Amino acid sequence: MNIILLGAPGAGKGTQATRIEEHYNVRHISTGDIFRHHMRQQTEIGQLARSYIKKGLLVPDEVTLRIVGIALEESKNENFMLDGFPRNINQATELDKIARIDKVINIAVDFDVLMNRICGRRNCPECGYTTHVSQLGGEGTCPKCGSEMQQRMDDREDTVKSRLTVYTEQTAPLIEFYKAQGKLFEVDGMGTPDEVFAEVRKVLG
């Protein structure tokens, strides 16, 4: 089964992706993670991606489609879960030409909580653990491995505003796109990660 995770920034796609990956036999493909990897490695793609990501804009489709094409090629004969892709109608149309999608899960979260979730998000650069600053109890260190927790450059308030605008204008229309294909499943993303995952399991079986 091939899955797409849809949802606004901060809806909890990454958190659910980790759980889905542990319970179902799917390969997690996150375009955001791939771009961040390129940025750390300072590749040409990384440098180009950075100039868009830091402004909260989408990386041009031509580049995004190329990295997704490579990732799908690598996961040939394997089930996959796309996280952060597609993000506009053109990407979804192109995806339909190269892969078969079975289920699309839309994680729905009230808009007013997204800002707080994203601006409070902290990540561990060593082990990838992600949590909210309120869960760190004043400690700046990772509860899993002890490294210094960091904030993503695009999780600062001004960038988050443009990410949410981009989401509303370009990504939200995908909900109707996949509804029309009969593939859309709605999940309430307002609960705890475990509660949300319980809903996800009802969809995935």
Residues touching ligand ADP: how many (CB under 6 A)? 19
> Which partner in ligand ADP, Zn ion, none is near 144 (CB below 5 to 8 A by kind)?
Zn ion
Task: Based on the shown chain and the rule CB under 6 A, indicate whether residue 67 belongs to the binding site for ligand ADP.
Answer: no
Active-site residue 163, yes or no?
yes
Choose, by CB under 6 A, the member of 85, 177, 178, 197 that binds ligand ADP. 85
User: Where would I find the H helices in the chain?
Assistant: 13-23, 31-41, 44-53, 61-74, 89-98, 111-119, 157-166, 173-180, 193-204
Options 29-37, 106-114, 134-142, 196-204: segment touching ligand ADP (CB under 6 A): 29-37
Catalytic option among 13, 50, 117, 122: 13
Whole-number minimum distance, CB 150 to Zn ion, in Å? 10
Assigned token pair, 8: 């606004």
Q: How many CA atoms lie within 13 A of 12 on its CB side?
A: 24
3-state class (DSSP) for residue 43: coil
Provide the pairing of β-strand 130-132 with 121-123: antiparallel
Whole-number minimum distance, CB 47 to ligand ADP, in Å? 14
Active-site residue 87, yes or no?
yes
Q: What residue ranges bind Zn ion (CB under 5 A)?
A: 124, 126-127, 129, 142, 144-145, 147
Active-site residue 152, yes or no?
yes
Q: How far apart are CA 149 and CA 131, in angstroms?
A: 9
Assigned token pair, 43: 């590749």
Whole-number minimum distance, CB 78 to ligand ADP, in Å? 20
